[in-house]
């Protein structure tokens, strides 16, 4: 079968800048707390804080990658923004319209514009229906008759995703995993959506097929002008397709950055740990020793998340401020927001707080020495680079970043390389 046929469409010239594009999706303070009920009376005894205050926006035509370990709330976030779940708090706006609490009938017209692709192509397709019925179902549900009829349109969609249109009458079991995911993609595209939320679209697939499906999504985006939110637990999946990446930890975004910035100089220690877990073919690192950061234990329970910075129980940089004060997600560098008191590759945001917590010392034992040394070095080097970049414009004495952090009690010294080097050095010696 024609499963892995790639759809190649030339890249579009002079794309508008991201900032000039329409904000398609805007999420403010988004929360989902699943109640925990007990006893005969089903009284609520607690809640799973699956998503606990997300703020981000997605602009038309861009791809936002969302990554994080299992259980950090990625899927719940995906279901909230597609309104398959009702948020507990916060706001979801689509094209400027508040859709947070729209009911079934209110959501109906929007269902055309927002579609979801699911992780498991085996369970998401009804085995008793032909792929013609499956891909044509959205037309039936929405009462839409495409030009030329449903069959013709379904066959067109099948060929768009690289499947043989002649296989219209076949059943899902006759297809491989990669082909089934293509069927799922064809179904999601049927109504010509604006936003597609793909929840781990390739993680159930064989590694050899993953790249083909990711490339297909990429090609379709260019051809159809789609906007994606792609959820993955693995940074390698989102690396090549995302414009920006949000890193989630225990229901929160800890870092949200332009893809290149994130890979070049991750700021949150959690991002750095996630990245070090993925072998990245980087020629500059080919002679480097193993830089793996092993994270201690599992993600803590979202029923009672840790105080302050939720990552402090596993972070090798955690100090008292991390335990007591929740860091705010702020734009420390243009295009890079981070919620951390002691970011990597940047000036310390709480330089006065240098005594490591006991858990941090334990966590540091799992971090390779090279990483700890590199942490100190790169922070100094990047801060120096930032300082020299900022020295180039006409006002060489102006040290401020374009966007000011909103945290008023945390005065930052983003461009002071010696401060970073000193703080990082202090931390290293503290260990």
Touching ligand ATP, residues 69-128 (CB under 6 A): 70-76
Q: Which is nearer to ligand ATP, 305 or 414 (CB)?
A: 305
Closest approach of Cβ 124 to ligand ATP, in Å? 14
Touching ligand ATP, residues 179-198 (CB under 6 A): none
Closest approach of Cβ 136 to ligand ATP, in Å? 29
Please report whether residue 33 would count as binding ligand ATP according to CB under 6 A: no
> Judged by CB under 6 A, which of 48, 185, 195, 273 binds ligand ATP?
48
Q: How far apart are CA 139 and CA 372, in angstroms?
A: 56
Q: Which is nearer to ligand ATP, 71 or 405 (CB)?
A: 71
Q: Which is nearer to ligand ATP, 78 or 136 (CB)?
A: 78
Binding mask 275-314 for ligand ATP (x = CB under 6 A): ---------------------------x------------
CA 392 to chain centre: 33
Closest CA to 341 of 331, 326, 356: 326
Closest approach of Cβ 34 to ligand ATP, in Å? 3
Give the CA distances from residue 134 to residues 2, 143, 154, 189, 224, in Å, rounded to whole numbers and listed in that order: 19, 15, 9, 12, 21
Beginning with the edge strand found earlier in the chain, give each strand of the sheet holding 43-59 in spatial order: 43-59, 23-38, 89-94, 97-98
Please report whether residue 233 would count as binding ligand ATP according to CB under 6 A: yes
Closest approach of Cβ 44 to ligand ATP, in Å? 12
Q: Which is nearer to ligand ATP, 46 or 148 (CB)?
A: 46
Residues forming beta bridges with residue 379, ordered by sequence position: none
Three-state DSSP class for residue 197? strand
Closest approach of Cβ 74 to ligand ATP, in Å? 4
Other CB atoms within 10 Å distance of the CB of residue 389: 10
Closest approach of Cβ 66 to ligand ATP, in Å? 9
> Judged by CB under 6 A, which of 34, 139, 168, 171 binds ligand ATP?
34
Closest approach of Cβ 361 to ligand ATP, in Å? 28
Q: Which is nearer to ligand ATP, 137 or 204 (CB)?
A: 204
Residues forming beta bridges with residue 31, ordered by sequence position: 52, 89
Please report whether residue 229 would count as binding ligand ATP according to CB under 6 A: no
Cβ contacts of residue 376 below 8 Å, gap of 6+? Answer: 421, 424, 425, 427, 428
Closest approach of Cβ 76 to ligand ATP, in Å? 3
Phi and psi at 197, nearest 5°, equal -105, 115
Q: Residue 15: enclosing H or E segment and its boundaries?
A: none
Closest approach of Cβ 336 to ligand ATP, in Å? 22
Q: How far apart are CA 51 and CA 73, in angstroms?
A: 6
Touching ligand ATP, residues 51-80 (CB under 6 A): 68, 70-76
Strands 63-67 and 244-249: parallel
> Judged by CB under 6 A, which of 24, 27, 30, 50 binds ligand ATP?
50
Q: Residue 424: enclosing H or E segment and its boundaries?
A: helix 417-430
Q: How far apart are CA 271 and CA 258, in angstroms?
A: 13
Q: Residue 134: enclosing H or E segment and its boundaries?
A: helix 131-142
Q: Which residues bind ligand ATP (CB under 6 A)?
A: 34, 48, 50, 68, 70-76, 233, 302
């Amino acid at each position: 079968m024609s499963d892995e046929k790639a759809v190649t469409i030339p890249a579009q010239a002079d794309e508008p800048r991201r900032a000039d594009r329409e904000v398609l999706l805007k999420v403010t303070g988004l929360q989902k707390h699943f109640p925990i009920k007990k006893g005969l009376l089903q009284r609520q005894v607690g809640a799973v804080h699956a998503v606990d205050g997300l703020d981000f926006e997605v602009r038309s035509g861009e791809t936002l990658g969302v990554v994080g370990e299992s259980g950090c709330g990625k899927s719940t976030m995906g279901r909230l923004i597609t309104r398959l779940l009702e948020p507990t708090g916060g706001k979801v706006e689509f094209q400027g319209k508040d859709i947070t609490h729209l009911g079934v009938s209110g959501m109906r017209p929007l269902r055309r514009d927002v579609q979801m692709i699911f992780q498991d192509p085996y369970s998401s397709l009804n085995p008793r229906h032909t792929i013609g019925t499956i891909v044509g179902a959205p037309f039936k549900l929405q009462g839409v008759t495409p030009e030329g009829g449903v069959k013709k349109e379904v066959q067109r969609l099948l060929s768009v995703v690289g499947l043989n249109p002649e296989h219209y009458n076949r059943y899902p079991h006759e297809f491989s995993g990669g082909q089934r995911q293509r069927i799922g993609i064809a179904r999601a595209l049927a109504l010509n959506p604006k936003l597609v939320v793909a929840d781990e679209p390739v993680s159930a697939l064989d590694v050899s097929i993953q790249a083909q499906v990711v490339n297909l999504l990429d090609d379709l985006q260019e051809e159809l002008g789609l906007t994606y939110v792609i959820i993955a637990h693995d940074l390698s999946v989102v690396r090549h397709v995302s414009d920006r990446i949000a890193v989630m930890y225990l229901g929160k975004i800890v870092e949200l950055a332009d893809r290149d910035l994130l890979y070049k100089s991750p700021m949150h220690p959690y991002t750095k740990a996630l990245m070090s877990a993925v072998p990245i073919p980087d020629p500059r690192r080919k002679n480097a020793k193993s830089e793996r950061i092993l994270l201690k234990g599992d993600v803590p329970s979202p029923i009672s998340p840790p105080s302050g910075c939720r990552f402090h129980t596993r972070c090798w940089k955690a100090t008292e401020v991390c335990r007591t004060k929740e860091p705010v997600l702020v734009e420390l560098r243009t295009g890079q927001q981070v919620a951390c008191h002691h970011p990597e590759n940047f000036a310390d945001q709480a330089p006065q707080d240098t005594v490591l917590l006991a858990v941090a010392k334990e966590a540091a034992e799992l971090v390779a020495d090279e990483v700890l040394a590199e942490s100190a070095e790169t922070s100094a080097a990047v801060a120096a680079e930032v300082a020299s970049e900022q020295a180039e414009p006409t006002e060489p004495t102006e040290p401020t970043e374009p966007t000011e952090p909103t945290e008023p009690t945390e005065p930052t010294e983003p461009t002071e390389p010696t401060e970073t080097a000193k703080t990082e050095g202090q931390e290293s010696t503290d260990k």
